[in-house]
Amino acid sequence: MHKGCFPTLGNESWVGSERLKNFNVRQDGSIKIRMLISAAVALVVVSICAQEDSRRGVKEVLNDLRVADFWFYENFDDGLKEAAKSNRPLLVTIRCVPCKACAGMDKQVVNPTDPELLELMKRFVCVRIVQVYGLDLSLFQYDMNMSWAAFFLNADKSVYGRYGTRAAQRNEAAITVSGFKKALRGALDLHQNYLSDPALVQDSIRAKLNQETPWSTPESIRPIQRTMRWGKPLGLLTGKESTSCIHCHFVPAGKMMSLMSQGSPITDSMLWSFPLPETVGLMLDPAEKAMVQKVRHDSPAGRSGFRIGDRILFMDGQAILSIADVQWVLHGAEDSDRVEVRIHRSGLQSDLILDLPSGWRRKGRFDDRASSWDFFKVKILGIGQMTSLPLQKRKFLGLGENRMALRIDKLTPSWGGMNGDARKVGLKELDIIVEVDGRIDIGNFSELLAYLVQEKKSGDQLNLTVLRKDRQLDVELPLNWEKRIQALRSP
């Protein structure tokens, strides 16, 4: 037990106190009550000390030691209490410490050396979460295919905004300290207005939590419950155990596996979740909150009148603090939808309508996400990576401009109980798939994976036409995923 953790009554230890000898029989009841109270206090303090030991142990296991002392480390509940007590907003970061992606940004935030950033963060109650076991999925709704994310909250759990984008997994320049500081200032402004008159901001933040979920925590998702890694079930990461951590990307994969096991449909909004702004033709400046850097003219954004330099203030009535907030609005949009957007342009505010046509999500991709490896590639198909051939290569092979031509770049490994069916039927890397079940209109790997889970079922067969060097082959690939999708990793 740590120094200072042992309970006392007044200035004396309750154990072995000489004063007990002076009490007479009539005071026995009082003594017992005081002893029971002291024992209860002792248990509480021991529990607190044990939690502190566990958090310290997690830091050591993860080598997450350079954390500024103002963070509530793995302690969201106490952070909430402090926010309510001090009337400050919460800054909650969720970080997968071992991941290399976003390590630079995390380093600058977890122990800030930028004076301006430090002063801004001191106006928040800062909470650092380094594992998703026990995470409240009804509150922390975000793209879990990234290794660093931030939330701005009120103590009543109202969400002011989010920060962090999946694009930073490939290029960390997609998140910046400059953009983060602007998002922090925006959250502080919303917080002050919320404290002054909640009605002023309720409409602009109410929809920032509008997605119902049947799962309360990651560990409540059935395939995650059944998953074993290195012979051990997934669970709470402690100072004594580093192999049981639930990875963030297990959550979206586990959700879809659970739905498929129940026979529920997998929709485009689940597959192409949290679309990047580029999907609708917008490239936003990562050094700003949400300022248009480029517009693709032949896109929904281009046709809706967006221009370079536009600052997005509101989308669908929601205050926009970051690119992540834009993704949240797009995530909730329908397949064919009209999204109201308020912008600031040349000193004036004006309104635009972003028209989203049917199938707009499919302009993006999901095959590059970590959850796709867990779910589709390991469990469903057995192919790890495919590339849609460029036009010049298609012409060389005598294929039409819009004809399907997907090259197998990588098959899944044969170890670890992964799906090896593609290997078993003779598919090889560099094979080019030009037809699937008679269809030649499947344009990319994401569309192929979507076809499998939306239109096929376990026990079906996939009929492929494959080009291999100078030969054309017909390949029959059995689809046997019913048992595989019961857990993310096999025992």
pLDDT tens column, 417-427: 678 889 999 99
Across the chain, mean pLDDT equals 88
Q: Is the pLDDT of residue 15 over 70?
A: no
Please report, for residues 81, 84, 123, 395, 396, the alpha-carbon distance to residue 87 in angstroms, rounded to integers and kept in the order given.
10, 5, 10, 64, 66
pLDDT tens column, 174-197: 999 999 999 999 999 999 999 999
| Strand residues in 139-254 grouped as ranges (E) | 148-153, 159-163, 228-229, 232-233
Model confidence band, residue 41 (pLDDT cutoffs 50, 70, 90): very low
- Residue 380 is classified by DSSP as I
May I ask the CATH class of domain 71-213? alpha beta
CA pair distance 170, 146, nearest whole angstrom:
10
Q: Is the pLDDT of residue 138 over 60?
A: yes
Rounded percentage of the chain residues whose pLDDT exceeds 90: 72
Residue 356 · residue 272 · CB < 8 Å: no
pLDDT at 376: 87
pLDDT at 407: 97
**Domain boundaries along the sequence of the chain:** 8-62, 71-213, 277-362, 380-481
Torsion on CA atoms 346, 161, 335, 171, rounded to nearest 10 = 80
pLDDT at 219: 94
**CATH superfamily entry for domain 380-481:** PDZ domain (2.30.42.10)
Q: Is the pLDDT of residue 48 over 50?
A: no
4: helix, strand or coil = coil
pLDDT (average), residues 89-110: 96
What φ, ψ does residue 43 adopt, rounded to 5°? Answer: -65, -40
May I ask the CATH class of domain 277-362? mainly beta
pLDDT at 200: 86
Would 277-362 and 380-481 be classified into the same CATH topology? yes
pLDDT at 389: 96
Give 143's contacts (C-beta < 8 A, 6+ positions apart): 149, 164, 165, 166, 273, 274, 324, 327, 331
Q: Is the pLDDT of residue 14 over 70?
A: no
Q: pTM above the 0.75 mark?
A: yes
Residue with the larger pLDDT of the pair 39 and 225: 225
| Strand residues in 46-89 grouped as ranges (E) | 71-73
Residue with the larger pLDDT of the pair 274 and 484: 274
For 29: left if phi > 0, alpha if psi spans -120 to 50, otherwise beta; the answer is: alpha
41: helix, strand or coil = helix
Helix H or strand E segment including 462? strand 461-468
pLDDT (average), residues 95-108: 95
CA pair distance 411, 392, nearest whole angstrom:
25
